[in-house]
């Protein structure tokens, strides 16, 4: 099997598809050049010889293309941070925040109850203003990419995210951030 494609809806329902044909798999991967528009398209059509399924992309929380192949090589450059799905039940190391790098657990939550636990590694924005802007713009991206637990590439829809939990306190926050402690 070349790829397993999992589509997760905002009703927290999953549909799983497979692709075994090398030529068709390459065509599918070539279409990833336009991944930033996945959730803005009118339809996402997944078709086989026996059936055709049509999704409203705006109602999807995630799409995962799991493969032992390097599917990420088909994406355009420009992704600074690496987001990798992890199993929340497994031990996860403490976050590391350096002068210019971050690594730590970040959980993404979606309408309908879907959630994704990840490990994020990447550079911190170079100025305090850019770091604050990153908090304010977290839901403004067209797509957030990640690496599924078994390899491949995943796409999250920020338009149906309810919140993001970063498992470390922030040094620089927007002026209108509410400073609180969570009740346990």
Which residues have a Cβ under 8 Å from the Cβ of 111 and sit 6 or more positions away? Answer: 10, 61, 160, 161, 162
- What's the pTM? 0.90
Of residues 84, 70, 85, the one with CA closest to residue 25? 70
What percent of the chain stands above pLDDT 90? 55
pLDDT of residue 116: 97
Mean model confidence pLDDT for the chain: 89
pLDDT of residue 135: 73
- Residue 177: pLDDT band by 50, 70, 90 thresholds? confident
pLDDT of residue 109: 97
pLDDT higher than 80, residue 126: no
β strands within 36-114, DSSP E:
44-47, 52-55, 60-66, 82-85, 96-97, 101-110
pLDDT higher than 80, residue 77: no
What percent of the chain stands above pLDDT 70? 98
């Amino acid at each position: 099997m070349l790829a397993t494609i999992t589509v997760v809806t905002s009703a927290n329902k999953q549909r799983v598809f497979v692709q075994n044909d090398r030529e068709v798999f390459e065509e599918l991967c070539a279409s990833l050049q336009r991944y930033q528009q996945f959730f803005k398209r009118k339809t996402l059509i997944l078709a086989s010889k026996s059936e055709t399924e049509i999704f409203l992309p705006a109602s999807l929380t995630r799409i995962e293309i799991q493969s032992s192949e390097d599917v990420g090589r088909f994406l355009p450059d420009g992704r600074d941070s690496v987001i990798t799905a992890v199993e929340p039940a497994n031990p996860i190391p403490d976050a590391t925040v350096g002068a210019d790098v971050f690594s730590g657990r970040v959980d993404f939550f979606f309408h309908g109850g879907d959630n994704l636990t990840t490990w994020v590694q990447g550079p911190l924005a170079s100025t305090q203003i850019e770091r604050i802007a990153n908090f304010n713009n977290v839901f403004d991206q067209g797509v957030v990419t990640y690496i599924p637990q078994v390899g491949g590439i995943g796409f999250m829809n920020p338009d149906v995210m309810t919140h993001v939990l970063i498992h470390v306190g922030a040094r620089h926050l927007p002026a209108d951030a509410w400073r609180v402690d969570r009740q346990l």
